[in-house]
Amino acid sequence: MEARWLKSRGVAGLDTPNDWLSVHGNLDVMAFPKRPTMEAGDKAAIYVVGSYRIPAVVEVVDGVILASDDTMTSDPERWPYALRTRPLLLVPDLSLAPTLTDVGIDTLSVRSQSHIALNEEQYDRIVVGLAQAAGVEFKRVLALTT
């Protein structure tokens, strides 16, 4: 089974608007300060730093690449590694997205981490929360995100 992750997006101290896609809209790539352990097929829930909310789930579509080789990030010196991804499920209104607490993730566990592993229950709670917020039947969403 593929691994499940929580990937942070954004910078502490900066407010993200409820229209979070206007700031973090490129869900085709995830950037990392250190080489990530994620692999193709893994799923990652996107956590918007400072909001305590998780508005999207993406799938990793290939292995790690150097961001500078592909101009994948706006700051390849700070974020030298990247993964290409494809969105599976998202909620455009950040205020409707499930919170870390809703899905059983301790808010302290995400501090200073670019990504952390999720257990199956946490991942399922994220998918259910996103499906409810999007008004989509959970069974249909689960087929896309598992």
The 10s digit of each residue's pLDDT in 89-140 is 989 999 999 999 999 998 888 877 788 999 999 999 999 999 888 876 555 5
Q: Which residues make Cβ contacts (< 8 Å) with residue 2, sequence separation at least 6?
A: 39, 41, 42, 43
Query: Would you say 100 and 77 are in contact if contact means Cβ atoms under 8 Å apart?
Result: no
pLDDT value of residue 85: 94
* 35's tokens: 């080489």
Per DSSP, the three-state class of 62 is coil
Q: Residue type for 3, please?
A: A
User: Is residue 42 pLDDT above 80, yes or no?
Assistant: yes
Taken as a whole, the chain contains a residue count of: 146
What is the model's pLDDT at position 25?
74
pLDDT of residue 45: 97
Q: What is the pLDDT of residue 24?
A: 76
Find out whether 102 and 130 touch, Cβ atoms under 8 Å. no
For range 50-77, the mean pLDDT:
82
pLDDT for the residue 71? 56
Query: How far apart (Å, rounded) are the C-alpha atoms in residues 105 and 75?
Result: 29
The tally of domains found in the chain comes to 1
How confident is the prediction for the chain on average, in pLDDT?
85
Mean predicted confidence (pLDDT) in 28-56 = 92
| Enclosing domain of residue 127 | 4-145
Residue 13 has pLDDT above 80, yes or no: no
CATH of the domain at 50: 3.10.590
Distance (Å, whole) CA 13 – CA 142:
33
